[in-house]
Structure 1
Amino acid sequence: MAPADLTVDVCWSPAPGTLRECHLSLPAGSTLRDALVASTWFDAAGPERLGGLQVGIWGRAQPLDAPLREGDRVEVYRALTVDPKEARRQRYRDAGQRIVTRHRPLGRKA
């Protein structure tokens, strides 16, 4: 690895319960698009179709031309199949009781 290279991880979950990870060494100045192409997971989509992917770095959505830094974690996101609010309502109906989170404990309002 040359001193000007940077290492990044590309993570993708193509289906629920599965995770694919790829450790890459890229030249300095590489972008998110470069990392996706180097992973070879998206070759079938073609470079022109990469624009349809939802991608980010460390959990924050980024454009494909975003520059990468040493140690970045590139993430490819799947589309949501259920609205998060609706999923919570369904869990409530199934459990039959209020779902308590650490942000909103049960009890009287102050």
Structure 2
Amino acid sequence: MAAADSRHGPDRMPVEVAYARPDSQRLIALEVARGTTAEEAIHASGILAECPEVDLAEQAVGIFSLPVGLDTVLSPGDRVEIYRPLQVDPKAQRRDRARAQRARNEGQASGS
């Protein structure tokens, strides 16, 4: 890893900021100062201007799928991900699927 870091200078490091809309996704590579936080990288990426629906007060962020706080200091090569709010509660969705499956099974049993 040291060889890759040497390309960026001792005080800089590469990171990425990722955000996915339902119809598109953005992955922005940038170079930031060592000690940069997730929130600072998000601002530096310009994604907030490009995607005005992003609300860091409401949306979670993570690094490589692991939730982190906005004040998390990044390491070289980190990918900061901005997560969209869930549209459907996963538990409610599973319950609905189970009910539908039971209804289909009961309909097949009564039809035979």
Same fold (TM over 0.5): yes
Q: Of Structure 1 and Structure 2, which has the larger fraction of its residues in helix?
A: 2
CA distance in 1, matches of 2:64, 2:84: 15
Note if contact 1:11-1:73 (Cα within 8 Å) is conserved in structure 2: yes
Cα displacement string for residues 1-53 of structure 1 (whole angstroms, at most 9, x for unaligned residues): 32321111111013x242111011101110001111011111486xxx63333
- Secondary structure of the residue aligned to 2:56 is helix
- Residue type at the aligned position of 1:62: V
Q: Which residue in the other structure is 2:80 paired with? A: 74
Gaps of 5+ in 1: 98-110
Cα RMSD for the two superposed structures: 2.3
Secondary structure of the equivalent of 1:36?
helix
Q: Within 5 A, what are the aligned runs for 1:26-105?
A: 26-43=32-49, 50-92=56-98, 93=100, 96=104
Q: Deviations over 1:74-109 (max 9, x none)?
A: 000011110112222334426946xxxxxxxxxxxx
TM-score by length of 2: 0.70
Q: Output the amino acid matched with 1:36.
A: I
Answering whether residue 9 of structure 2 is matched by residue 2 of structure 1, we say yes
Q: Equivalent residue of 2:91, what SS?
A: helix
Whose Rg is larger? 2
Distance (Å, rounded) in 2 between the aligned partners of 1:63 and 1:12: 16
Structure 2 unaligned spans of 5+ = 1-7, 106-112
Residues matched between the structures, number: 93
Contact 2:59 2:85 in 1 (8 A): no
Determine if contact 2:37/2:71 at 8 Å carries over to the other structure: yes
